[in-house]
Structure 1
Amino acid sequence: MDELILTIVENFKELSYLGIMLALTIEFVPAEIVLPLAGYWVYQGDMTLFGTVLAGTVGGTFGPLTLYALGRFGGRPFILKYGKYFFINEEKLSKADEFFEKNGGMVAFTARFLPGVRTLISIPCGMAKMNVWIFSIYTFLAMLPITFIYVFLGLKLGDRWKDVGELANTYILPIGIGVLVLFVLYKLIIKFRGNKASVK
């Protein structure tokens, strides 16, 4: 399967930065393959780091919007019926639902750093009819550092760009944990201020 995806992505190279954007807009094409390979293209001198990161971030924002739309306009029954065509099953969807219920709309940002829910979290955001602009801004802000890490590591590893996946997790997971800690602190501060205001 990875070889098929790799062939598809390599064909997108002919479209340069637009190709990167389009490849990432197709949600079943993993960013973990596209972005390190794009970093390798930077290493080869075919593209610039800035242009590649920008194209990857924009594509990484458009891609989740397709799943957001499925959730918003199709609803859960539609997802469960046709999700198999997007590599979505009920277990994965339930995980994303649970994460959304616990954390609210901010998950459009925080969940991007967490394996297992980073892609499917777009569906419950859509089902909850989260404001599409807020969803897009959160997604863009999360995808920017993630895209940079994958592309930069692909650039640095050069011919060994396929090794980026495991290495990237050593950077992305700590960032994700840090983001979650800050998010929890933010919620606690808001709750504390709310309680304080109600006492007055």
Structure 2
Amino acid sequence: MEQLLLELLEWFKDLSYLGVFIALCIEFIPAELVLPLAGFWVSEGEMRFWGVVIAGSLGGVVGPLTLYSIGRFGGRPLLETYGKYVFMNKDNLQKADQFFQSHGAFVAFSARFLPGVRTLISVPCGMAKMNPWIFSLYTFLAMAPISFFYVYFGVELGENWTEVKGLLQQYLVPFGIGLVIVFLIYLLVTHRKRSV
């Protein structure tokens, strides 16, 4: 399996920016793996930094749009029947559904920063028939900084890109805490408006 993944990543590299875009379109290939590796390719002079960030950000919108479409046009019966083949069991769908119901459209942005929820949240957004342009905008606004930071760390690590996890914890934890604080403030303001 590991060899297959390495060959797939090499194929993405051969496709350059298009490869980064395609890799990010496939929701179940982790951006945490692809983007730091693409940052390494940037450090080797094989791609340009902003080209990779743009390709990653756009791919990170198209991938969720496919799941959004499945939710919108296939609905829950389709997902409950066939979702298990793409790692979507009923419990995961229920959690994503509840998260969307609790937090509304802003969830298309905020959930991108939450591992485990970020992939599946597109489905309840589609099932709720959220405006696809708003969904895409929120998704892009989340994916742009994510792409920037992962590619940046890949560039900084150079040949040591496989050590990205430790460096990400060092720098992205404060960033993540900041995002959580912003999200909590948003929830507090929304809750108060509903109470009034």
Normalized against structure 2, the TM-score is what? Answer: 0.89
Report the equivalent of 1:55: 55
How far apart, CA to CA, are the structure 2 residues paired with 1:93 and 1:194? 26
1:62-141 alignment, distance < 5 Å: 62-141=62-141
Report the equivalent of 1:46: 46
How far apart, CA to CA, are the structure 2 residues paired with 1:88 and 1:195? 34
Equivalent residue of 2:15, what SS? helix
Equivalent residue of 1:9, what SS? helix
Over 3 Å counting, the alpha-carbon distance change for 1:91 and 1:170 in structure 2 is: farther
Q: Tell me the amino acid that sits aligned with residue 126 of structure 2.
A: G
Q: Structure 1 residue 151: deviation in Å?
A: 0.8
Report the equivalent of 1:12: 12
Q: Is the 8 A contact 1:5 1:29 kept in 2?
A: no
* Amino-acid identity (%): 58
How far apart, CA to CA, are the structure 2 residues paired with 1:172 and 1:114? 13
Over 3 Å counting, the alpha-carbon distance change for 1:119 and 1:16 in structure 2 is: same
Q: Is the 8 A contact 2:96 2:121 kept in 1?
A: yes
Q: Is the 8 A contact 1:113 1:175 kept in 2?
A: no
Q: Is the 8 A contact 2:71 2:127 kept in 1?
A: yes
- Count of aligned pairs between the two proteins: 196
How far apart, CA to CA, are the structure 2 residues paired with 1:40 and 1:18? 16
How far apart, CA to CA, are the structure 2 residues paired with 1:163 and 1:108? 30
1:151-176 deviations in whole A, cap 9, x for unaligned? 11111112221222353255445434
Task: Answer with 74-83 or 89-98: which moved more.
Answer: 89-98
1:59-86 deviations in whole A, cap 9, x for unaligned? 1111111111111111112112111232
RMSD: 2.1
Over 3 Å counting, the alpha-carbon distance change for 1:194 and 1:94 in structure 2 is: closer
Report the equivalent of 1:157: 157
Q: Structure 1 residue 134: deviation in Å?
A: 0.3
Over 3 Å counting, the alpha-carbon distance change for 1:95 and 1:190 in structure 2 is: closer
Normalized against structure 1, the TM-score is what? Answer: 0.88
Over 3 Å counting, the alpha-carbon distance change for 1:191 and 1:93 in structure 2 is: closer
Q: Is the 8 A contact 1:110 1:176 kept in 2?
A: no
Q: Is the 8 A contact 1:20 1:34 kept in 2?
A: yes
Q: Structure 1 residue 193: deviation in Å?
A: 6.0
